[in-house]
Amino acid sequence: MCFRRIGRRMPWRRVPLRRRSDRIQAWLTLAVIVTALLAAPGAAWWTARSTYGAEARASEWEARHRRAVSAVLEQNAAGVSSTVDSEALPGPEYVPVAARWTAPDGTVRAGAVPVEAGARAGSTVTVWIDELGALASPPRRRNAVLDATVAGTFALTAMLAFLGGARRLVIWRLDRRRLRSWEAEWQIIGPRWSRR
């Protein structure tokens, strides 16, 4: 029963009351469905694969160009000043303190590193450096699978939204055309029925 009803709506069936705009709408709907079933999953897969590759390459680059080393603090880390309400600050307070560390080429480098307030001079902290020995931000925590899944889902949703929006726009234009045609025909037929 359901297949028979769907079969009646197919654009290639000749129906005497079907207008040209109805056939255009039926073919458009069929084209959107076929495109959504064939192209949208491919676009989502390609986007997910590209995102995964980019995230994996970025992780590999950071692993090759950044490393964690131990830095020795050269002075004590001062605490919170008395004018600031320390209970209002969330989590531990970090302050910049002079420290020294060894670069990959063996030279000793120095600079200010953020440490928790109250750290003592001579204690060690872990810092991240680049291949030249300069301070660098730690590698970003990446989840390539999650990023690829989100990107693929977004691409699929965007493509389906685009196809649906384009179909809706064409149908809106067809509806306006049908209404104009109906009004023109009613101008001819209406007076015979309504005696106006």
167-185 pLDDT per residue, tens: 999 999 998 988 888 888 8
Q: Is residue 154 part of a domain?
A: yes
pLDDT (mean) for 155-161? 95
Encoded tokens for 66: 């950044």
The answer to whether 127 and 68 are in contact (CB under 8 A) is: yes
pTM tops 0.75, yes or no: no
Domain carrying residue 75: 67-129
Q: Is residue 5 part of a domain?
A: no
Looking at the fold, whether 117 and 73 belong to one and the same domain comes out as yes
Better pLDDT: 9 or 77: 77
Q: Of the residues 81, 102, 129, which one is the last residue of a structural domain? A: 129
Better pLDDT: 17 or 19: 19
- 3-class DSSP state of 37: helix
> Average pLDDT of the chain?
83
Looking at the fold, whether 46 and 79 belong to one and the same domain comes out as no
DSSP state of 15: -
Of the candidates 72, 69, 70, 71, the one whose C-alpha atom is nearest the C-alpha of residue 121 is 72
Total number of domains constituting the chain:
2
Q: Is residue 42 part of a domain?
A: yes
Q: Is residue 134 part of a domain?
A: no
Looking at the fold, whether 125 and 150 belong to one and the same domain comes out as no
Looking at the fold, whether 44 and 71 belong to one and the same domain comes out as no
Pairing verdict, β 108-116 and 67-73: unpaired
Q: Return d(Cα 144, Cα 139) in angstroms, integer.
A: 14
Per-residue pLDDT tens digits for 23-81: 888 889 889 999 999 999 999 999 999 999 999 999 888 888 888 888 888 888 775 44
The answer to whether 174 and 87 are in contact (CB under 8 A) is: no
Looking at the fold, whether 71 and 114 belong to one and the same domain comes out as yes
**Percentage of the chain exceeding pLDDT 70:** 85
Encoded tokens for 184: 């023109």
Q: Of the residues 81, 100, 129, which one is the last residue of a structural domain? A: 129
**Secondary structure element (H or E) that encloses residue 126, with its range:** strand 124-129
Q: Of the residues 105, 129, 153, which one is the last residue of a structural domain? A: 129
Least confident segment among 6-15, 59-68, 100-109, 171-180: 6-15
Encoded tokens for 5: 């009803």
For residue 88, pLDDT beyond 60: no
Burial of 184: CB neighbours in 10 Å, binned 0-12, 13-18, 19+: exposed
Of the candidates 111, 96, 100, the one whose C-alpha atom is nearest the C-alpha of residue 73 is 100
Looking at the fold, whether 73 and 124 belong to one and the same domain comes out as yes
Q: Is residue 12 part of a domain?
A: no
Of the candidates 96, 103, 36, 40, the one whose C-alpha atom is nearest the C-alpha of residue 70 is 103
Q: How far is CA 31 from CA 6, 8, 10, 35, 167, in A?
A: 15, 17, 11, 6, 10
Instruction: Mark 21-37 as b/e (b = at least 16 C-beta within 10 Å).
Output: eeebbbebeeebeeebe
Looking at the fold, whether 53 and 78 belong to one and the same domain comes out as no
Instruction: Mark 90-106 as b/e (b = at least 16 C-beta within 10 Å).
Output: eeebebebebebeeeee
